Amino acid sequence: MSAPADLETLSINTIRTLSMDAVQAANSGHPGTPMSMAPVVYTIWQKVLRFDPADPIWPNRDRFVLSIGHASMLLYSILHLTGVKTVSSTYQIEDEPSVTLDSIKRFRQLDSKCPGHPEYRWTSGVELTTGPLGQGCANSVGMAIAGKWFGAHYNRPGFDVCDHNIYTLCGDGDMMEGISGEAASLAGHLKLSNLCWLYDSNRITIEGSTNLAFTEDTAKRFEAYGWNVLHVDDANDVSALEKALANFRETQDRPTFIVVKSVIGWGSPNKANTHGAHGEPLGDKEIALTKAVYGWPEDKKFYVPDGVYDHFQQGIGKRGKADRDAWVAMMAEYRKAHPDLAKELDLIQTRDLPEGWDRDIPVFPADPKGKAGRDSSALVENAIAKNVPWLIGGSADLAPSTKTRLTFEGAGDFEAGSYGGRNFHFGIREHAMASILNGMSFEKVRPFGSGFLIFSDYAKPAIRLSAIMEIPTIHVFTHDSIGVGEDGPTHQPIEQLVSLRSIPGFLTLRPADANEVAEAWRFVMKLKHEPAAIIVTRQAIPTFDRTRYAPATGLAKGGYIMADALDCNPDIILIGTGSEVQLCVDVYEELTKEGVKARVVSLPSWELFEHQDASYREHVLPSGVTARLAVEQASTFGWARYVGLQGKVVGMHSFGASAPYEVLKKKFGFTTENVLQAARELLAAAKS
């Protein structure tokens, strides 16, 4: 090895060589960006980031988001070299490293802490699960929003308990995905000065030069969004990077976008090593040649030179500990001066709820005319939000229709320069809204977002990631069926329910009346690791007489017996969700008059029902009863698991149509007469 380089260069090259070696050992991955962006990550972590490797979850730490998740070895290398500690599933700091050298050697292998893309809750120090491009960018906007909200609510003179910054590393792919543009537009509008994106402008993607499909002036686009746009002409220029990051911290009226020019696989705009550098290993020969340029011993793999670990310990290790210790000392004084606010912050950090949080949830009286699901949801949501100050959210420009605005005195709007409001205006940006909610939830507030159920399709990628990350975002979807009416098939959700139900770890709740809506909110608010959707109607639906039918508290089990035969031994079971439970009840009443032993099962959440033990599920849906009829104004796909091969489903087998709702109900068979006829046919078949 040639004469030792200075520790700065040595440390940067260690990030590069660990990344090269890991990708080569896995025979899979992306070495190019970790090689070119190593100086950027080094500069952020070693010189700027307010982060304590010994306590990677202290609340006021700066956040580092690797939106370019394919460059995951950048993050794993820095987590290893800085000695970030492991955090247990119960949020206890353990005396072992989050990323060991052995984990790096097992990059992309089963059970390694270094999977192909960073995974939150799997590898300590990873702030977000990233990979699908653009998601990390939008998540970081949500984190910045939450940071501003926390500061407005909890900072007091002399006590800046929440003033951390968000640093996001992104690339050309992020810039091409529409979600990043949606999120950046909103961030600029809100003037989120605690947000900094560093854009790796290397002008190459998997297919080749960005000239193939991406020739816009990205910097000017961000200037138009209202961002502070800076340029660093060489990714290796640590001094220029430091100056740009200092400029960000001094800018108080807008977010910052730093364009960093690099060449993939090297870092300098004047040199390149692009063979396989983006999406495949370099190969042993090219790695050896590259290491020779770095002055590295060519025969050593996963080599960390003497002095590198200590260099990081003396940098981010020492600085991060001092930052954290100062914050802990300040919090001790804050607890004395503002004990009630400190208690709220403690509850937020553990995702707990204040005492009496649900005391004002209304109980709705029986009412044949009833309420629209969106109206009852609005009443419940507001009742809860009065007692849970960190329940905040909004809609994708649909609050007047979804009824999700917090209307009590003092709720206010979250706006640029006035960050204390609890009502958010996400604009017509469903995809970005869902991802922003993830970032907000990551910061531990309880965010909700709303829209029409049909537009869950726009939000689905972010919803899926919330389930992977196990963060409890809340979605309120209204206009849940062909009840949308005249807007027609483009706005009538048919396949969206089953699509949401198919996401592992995601809870879908479609309550049948106002009291089930109340119970849905009560259940969802207590979740700590599961995202959920409460799906409600546009049209009025009757409120059931719960002295005659079973209590709505059964919703917590996903499905329950709402009405039953006198001997609890039915000949036919009618199963419904949402507004269609009323149809099942009407048919039940008619069959009962005819002397038929019938049962009605309200099944608002398939997922919660499947969480119950086998004996409970057998109690609700006894296997001996094969005459089963499900009714739902949605795709029939999936219902076979509950009705069996001998059952029937009254559902949608096509898209909807444009007409008044009463006309559509008759056209598609959602009438008492049609459901009753289907029930009679099932009974006849069972007897024969």
Read off the DSSP letter of residue 415. B
Tokens linked to 573: 């079971």
Q: How far is CA 405 from CA 353, 358, 414, 422, in A?
A: 21, 19, 12, 9
Non-local (6+) Cβ contacts of 339 within 8 A are: none
Q: Are strands 85-87 and 93-97 parallel, antiparallel or unpaired?
A: antiparallel
Q: How far is CA 684 from CA 61, 418, 606, 647, 688, in A?
A: 67, 66, 28, 12, 6
In angstroms, rounded to a whole number, what is the distance separating the alpha carbons of residues 308 and 311?
A: 5
Backbone torsion region of residue 51, taken as left when φ is above 0, otherwise alpha when ψ lies between -120 and 50, otherwise beta:
beta
Non-local (6+) Cβ contacts of 134 within 8 A are: 67, 173, 174, 177, 178, 179, 180, 183, 435
CB-CB contact of 264 with 202 (8 Å): yes
CB-CB contact of 364 with 438 (8 Å): no
Query: Which residue, 519, 503, 444, 506, is CA-closest to 475?
Result: 506
CB-CB contact of 113 with 380 (8 Å): no
Q: How deeply is 162 buried, as exposed, middle or buried, from its count of CB atoms within 10 A (0-12, 13-18, 19+)? A: buried
What is the dihedral sign for C-alpha 393, 375, 379, 495? negative
Neighbours of 593 (CB within 10 A): 8
Residue written as token pair 């270094």: 114
Residue written as token pair 């020779």: 292
Q: How far is CA 225 from CA 190, 219, 256, 687, in A?
A: 10, 10, 11, 69
Bridge partners (DSSP) of residue 85 are 97
Catalytic residue annotation: 430
Q: How far is CA 291 from CA 11, 12, 35, 307, 654, in A?
A: 14, 13, 11, 18, 61
CB-CB contact of 1 with 297 (8 Å): yes
